[in-house]
Chains A and B, each alone.
Chain A
């Protein structure tokens, strides 16, 4: 078993690589999307790595308005800037513009090995309850996949340690033999003394990803495989004797495999790894979900499948593309909420952040129509008719809309006869109207909303002023869909 650390000067040296981070952040406000919420302060830890860069957890520095970096020894805070941030992997890099900051510091190297189960590690950081550095000893108790709760978007590998990770520890390095084996980042609620650490594989993925100057994130295949555990199913799909695999039920639009893999395809192997009937593969004798192959790749790479389509075994190459997702079903940071406010009518796309405005157990409390559109967007192919689910979220009361002021949280079906498929299509449907009325129709048994077009145009500016809305809209820049 490797030694966890040595006493003396080495510790001094390591300590000079650990920094304290203070972040002043401002969250977006999805209830009043034209304004931000109040400022709040947060703190965390980081580690200096090669190239005068500071690695930390994304959640320590997200939605940053002002960032301060401090070394343990000097009492002077330095101004920091987030250079790269990956919310899905909860990692970020910080630059400090003043080069004198890096005097009398050291950078720590990475260990390219995943530490052994049961081995000792040291957690460095500046947790709450004191000003000075804290070092905690822990052992690796599990290596597993778990949801990265910062964005909640997907599952990645984690190291679980039996040392507590406290607020302020986040972003701090976890060391073994004086090398970084991970970044401390989250705790398991309701368990005592269990901390999660981002392992080297995920850190490498992040650092490789940003080499071209842009963080793309993890590409997804977007395949919905059905396991072939039942012999009747294997017989039905005609899986040849001696072969194993899974059958594709569906594909997610906007993900990499959508036009390449077809429903009904029988996937036999991925990058040469045979797919077992339960959808797993073996890598280095360890069992993983077949998506693990993609987990280790970047946008621009490709994945090669052997599959049976229409009775014929063929090879299929899937180029990995950046995901195009129009329903934001994860926690968003840095992003400004999209909206359009017209005549006091507030339109917003359905998203996780919007549903969270119900607070508490929003997944039960939010309106059941919205929860259905959210949860079954891909499952029930609702995405085809409504790539963006545009809601009339509420109405800022004004004389022109006074008969409709009670309307809220409805799915907009058409505006002036135009099918609404995005916020942009809604805006242009309003703009194109030359008649007397704007007619808004909703999904479900609801009467249309009829508004006087001339009065709406006239009153629009006054409504914006009265409610202190500086901009009537925000639309995020769109990336190309190829």
Chain B
């Protein structure tokens, strides 16, 4: 491996490509014993909700991913591989046979899942993997895949980065390895197990073929995930619940009356009911978390990896329910307080960052399709949704998605109107934010349901934020119209509300 210096790689790429292929093959052989029968293959048929017509599902599709066997006869894979699954088939390289798999635990935030197999004999000839948490930068690793021929193939790579990054679905950030790897024409990023020295160091989260760069969910996050499976259920990861900003500017420090040598991050906002609510306040300077000092850029010194984003302290070392101590600077003095950690909850978001794993609620009344705004709804604008979607929604998503306010837990929207005689004259109204129904302010979809139980006299009145426009429906013929619209448009359920 001495040949794999950075300079040489640039100069003699083609030769190195060959060399690394040879190296890969050699390593797969030399370490074949500890990684025997790893990985297993998962064939997943999945079906997503059509968020723009929420009573419908999109066309069923399938994907392939990998998993590896854990000591307690279970399969570990990424959430991304099994999300929205309607059926999971599991296959191992020792037998030409499919086994039925089922999701036992899934955490979309850390992108991990546990899959069980109905027929326990599946595991009889499979060795569980050993987990290794410590990987150094520059350390060579192997990404394991199964060829069509069921031959295990080890693709060589190298860890190039250890940092705290945003995960696939969660807006929160966790410890991540970055690796240089070339999956060649087969592509990658489908949860390939990554090994070093015969032990599992992580699961592949994503792969960028242009940059030949993969991100890996480290074993320490995997261990934490497994430890969070408790007899009472899965307890998840804690979420810090604030937004901090780097403080480098000496003027800013002077403005805060910060004594020399005191460093920390500026607390811009604290999410209501989150972990930091009641402990930290906007304008505080956070100095240390759980005994770790934080510098002005928000890094702490990890004993093994060195400087890491301080959000790692919450997610890697603690569980929801833990109490830790934070040190902060407020009103000219340093203070300490206990902080009780809570789990990240997507329902704490004004605009939930993902919807998989939960029922998409909606209400169709008088042809009006009313639902809560979610990131997945925005993604229905297509590949360029980040610029093409409705500009008001995008603004709230980009700048206020985490901040539910009192009286506004969600953004309830009129998606569109299914034309019917009852909504004559309104049919072009769409993409509006529902402010009130029958004079009652709307903060969640349930509010609409409740407000519809009390019409104003013989009418239902919907009021929208934009220009305060109103829409009136007759109360007496509404249920008849709903029946008619349901039949006309082939909608089985006119509402899906989880109380």
A interface residues with partner B (beta carbon < 8 Å): 224, 226-233, 235-237, 247, 249-250, 263, 364-365, 368-369, 371-372, 375-376, 378-380, 403-404, 436-437, 439, 444-447, 450-452
Contact = CB atoms under 8 A, between A and B. Distances in A.
Nearest to B459: A236
A368 B469 contact: no
Contacts of B480: none
Nearest to B429: A226
Given A229-B424, A445-B268, A380 B465 contact: yes
Interface in B253-274: 254-255, 266, 268-269
A68 B249 CA distance: 56
Contacts of A403: 248-249, 251-252
B454 to A, nearest CB: 16
B135 interface: no
Contacts of B425: 227-230, 233
- Size class of B's contact patch? 35 or more
A431 B458 CA distance: 58
Interface in B235-290: 243, 245, 248-249, 251-252, 254-255, 266, 268-269
Given A369-B398, A372-B392, A452-B251, A226 B470 contact: yes
B474 A232 contact: yes
B399 interface: yes
A91 B143 CA distance: 69
B395 A371 contact: yes
Nearest to B400: A444
Interface of B: 243, 245, 248-249, 251-252, 254-255, 266, 268-269, 384, 387-388, 391-392, 394-395, 397-400, 403, 422-426, 458-459, 461, 465-474
20 contacts: A226-B469, A226-B470, A229-B425, A230-B423, A230-B425, A230-B426, A232-B472, A233-B471, A235-B458, A249-B469, A250-B468, A364-B387, A368-B395, A375-B391, A380-B392, A444-B399, A446-B245, A446-B268, A447-B266, A450-B252
B391 A371 contact: yes
B391 A372 contact: yes
Contacts of B387: 364-365, 368
B392 A376 contact: yes
A250 B468 CA distance: 7
B243 A445 contact: yes
A204 B12 CA distance: 76
B252 A376 contact: no
Contact of A368 (B269, B394, B467): B394
Contacts of A436: 254-255
B424 A437 contact: no
A249 B426 contact: no
B463 to A, nearest CB: 10
A450 B249 contact: yes
Contacts of B248: 403
Given A233-B425, A376-B392, A439 B255 contact: yes
B398 A437 contact: no
Contacts of A229: 424-426
A342 to B, nearest CB: 15
A369 B399 contact: yes
A379 B467 contact: yes
A439 to B, nearest CB: 7
A445 B401 CA distance: 11
A375 B268 contact: no
B472 A224 contact: no
B446 to A, nearest CB: 24
A232 B473 contact: yes
B52 to A, nearest CB: 19
Nearest to B456: A236
A445 B399 contact: yes
B439 to A, nearest CB: 13
Nearest to B387: A364
B47 to A, nearest CB: 30
Contacts of B394: 368, 371-372
A233 B251 contact: no
B395 A249 contact: no
B85 to A, nearest CB: 33
A226 B425 CA distance: 10
Given A372-B392, A447-B245, 20 more contacts: A224-B467, A224-B469, A229-B424, A229-B426, A230-B426, A232-B422, A232-B473, A233-B425, A235-B458, A247-B470, A249-B467, A364-B384, A371-B391, A372-B394, A437-B255, A444-B400, A445-B399, A450-B249, A450-B252, A452-B251
A246 to B, nearest CB: 11
A236 B461 contact: yes
Contacts of A375: 391-392
Contacts of B397: 368
A379 B251 CA distance: 40
B357 to A, nearest CB: 27
A379 B395 CA distance: 15
